Amino acid sequence: MHERGSFVSPLLSGVFCQCRSEEYQGSDPGGGGGGRTLGSTLAASCDSPHHCPVCGGPEQEHHRLKVLFQILDVNRDGGICVNDLTIGLKKLGVHRTEHELMKIVKAGDKDLDGQLDFEEFVHYLRDHEKKLRLVFKSLDKKNDGHIDSQEIMQSLRDLGVHISEEQAEKILKSMDKNGTMTIDWNEWRDYHLLHPADNIPEIILHWKHSTIFDVGESLMVPDEFTAEEKKTGMWWRHLVAGGGAGAVSRTCTAPLDRLKVLMQVHASHTNTVGFTGGFAQMIREGGVRSLWRGNGINVLKIAPETAIKFMAYEQIKRLIGSNQETLGILERLVAGSLAGAIAQSSIYPMEVIKTRLALGRTGQYSGIMDCAKHILKKEGLKAFYKGYIPNMLGIIPYAGIDLAVYETLKNAWLQRFATDSADPGVFVLLACGTMSSTCGQLASYPLALVRTRMQAQASQEGSPQMTMTGLFRHIVRTEGAIGLYRGLAPNFMKVIPAVSISYVVYENLKITLGVQSR
């Protein structure tokens, strides 16, 4: 919560609450003066049988939003641009910087024409008000419809921010219009309603995604962190907890991951590698321990990949001129995909070593370093980037679909079920994470399969060294389109246990590390 220099005037309250509109006066929405006031314009509909929109009267709400739209549409062209907002809000006693007004227009401008038409304006305000109500409910610890200084202190303390009672009262005074030293819903809404906030901190806190869930692939768009989390150092605790959860999750599902790699490389029409047959073959060849072959380096690459991706993501956000308060879905996808590409490029040799170890015979390599030396000696440095192109191409469909599905499910839940808190609970979070990860993997799976086969080419004696497009054509010609989905069954089978295990471990590590974000 940030202290700001001014708040929405009583005039604006009248626009949104007919119950109080007769108390306030303002300029004529028609722009012609003539002694008309906003209060009288609104009061003209007081005889309507429909009750106040704050309580749910749709016709009066539409009328009042129309009145506000007309006031803000200074040049009467049917759209509100940044210049309109600057002049119109000043009439209402509301002062916002040009940057803040640009964020409002950008957040609501669905058709990208640089201004808000009436439909976009209404949609923005209604959606924004719903988010504000969630935050108000989360701050109202006593559930009495008012926020006092103690509740502000407690809420910020939960985020790791400690302020004095004097500072809390200063924040209160900036919003408190009636001098009670408490904030009711109307004061809270009027203060924040025309202030941009795409990602309300309460929602960011409860809907972390890529930090929590690890399904073996690190191609998700990184999570956002609130300003408080960054300031207090909670962000690195989240990343450490996520890394630990990923290590446990990957270790528990490693047998399924190795089976997937074997099926991707060896399965065909003539050589069927079944589920039980594959496990039996691995155990027969190297014992039960061989089920975890290649898991060590798969766990080791979590730390550098997470750190590089997070740092790259934050830098790219700055380069595109955005921050966590305003980053839209498209911007997140671009920044996240580029950060993922940078991270993957940095640790890609570890991916190749992991595949070679998983496909290796018992005794072929004594460990990670021996495998790396063997590849370098026989194939040269270039071998460490086999399959690099399909891997990079797979980032966009995976990250894009995973993010789109997760955000769609999140927003659907927030719209339908979020009344008292933005916290979805464990089962909703797990369901959303599982569905989005599954969709992302399904979309990028053919590229992942081609990548794995290219990584494995030199380890298969007598196999031709094909390019990406050549390998695609070969698979489709010899195995059909289904050949591009070899190993999909064990891959999907590990999603639910991987997501569940990583969530449980993440929550416990958060407690151990002293993270208090819920």
- Please indicate, yes or no, whether the overall pTM of this predicted structure exceeds 0.75: no
The pLDDT value given to residue 210: 52
Question: Does the pLDDT value for residue 492 go beyond 80?
Answer: yes
pLDDT score at 327 = 57
Give Cβ neighbours of residue 88 (< 8 Å, ≥ 6 apart): 71, 72, 73, 74, 80
**Which residue has tokens 């992302």?**
440
pLDDT, residue 200, reads 45
pLDDT for 461:
59
Other residues' Cβ atoms within 10 Å of the Cβ of residue 398: 27
Q: What is the mean pLDDT of the chain?
A: 75
Q: Are 466 and 457 a contacting pair, CB within 8 Å? A: yes
**pLDDT at residue 195, as a whole number:** 56
Res. 372: pLDDT tops 90:
yes
Residue 328, SS3 per DSSP: coil
**How does residue 73 score in pLDDT terms, banded at 50, 70 and 90?**
confident
**Stretch 137-155: mean pLDDT, rounded?**
77
Is residue 94 within 8 A of residue 104, CB to CB? The reply is no
Highest mean pLDDT (candidates 32-46, 51-65, 308-322): 308-322
242 versus 294: the higher-pLDDT residue is 294
Percentage, residues of the chain above pLDDT 90 = 21
Least confident of 39-43, 67-71, 379-383, 511-515: 39-43
If one counts every other C-beta atom within 10 angstroms of the C-beta of residue 112, the result is 6
- Residues 119, 122, 128: CA angle, nearest 5 degrees: 135
